[in-house]
Structure 1
């Protein structure tokens, strides 16, 4: 992944993770594995865990500890009402930015 891709991903990763959690509850490794399957191969587990701690502290997710067959209980994260509101705002902002970027690109193609 290029430096530019890495920087752009940093700015959107929170929204991406919340979008994943909008479909179903998940724990950190599950989220990381899914992202890697989708082509985000350079994402480190530590990045996702740090992000999950941040969104938990901000009250955007609920956390439930679930027993694990291997090791300590897992923290399973699910999107709550505040998180859904934040995700809605993320998508509105995303739409705004992509429309403006498309306009800029179209002007540059002429």
Structure 2
């Protein structure tokens, strides 16, 4: 069984990775794949949506005669990440109360 990843959680993962450093699409996908099973065909719509919402900006950089499009988190993206982290902590705390409940606690 796999636990479903919501769009908001996937956004949070991408933003958290980009908060550490800028990445081009393929490298970013590989970083996310280290944590969850995701395809490039899933990642690029996420990146487009985050860019459209001003969470990310892009720039191109030449590498071995080809351009790579790098993604960079914006201040709006950093704020969005903080909101996601707060929601995640609340969600995780609520689940932990059930998953790790002792004996007869209600």
Unaligned 5+ residue runs, structure 2? none
**Equivalent of residue 68 in structure 2, options 64, 74, 77:** 74
Q: Is the 8 A contact 2:8 2:84 kept in 1?
A: no
Aligned to 1:61: 56
Partner of 2:81: 87
Q: Within 1, Cα distance between the matches of 2:28 and 2:5?
A: 19
TM-score (norm 1): 0.82
Q: How many residues align?
A: 103
Greater fraction helix: 1
C-alpha RMSD over aligned residues = 1.8
In structure 2, the partner of 1:29 is 26
In structure 1, how many angstroms separate the alpha carbons of the residues matched to 2:64 and 2:40? 20
Aligned counterpart, 1:98: 92
1:14 to 6, 11, 21: 11
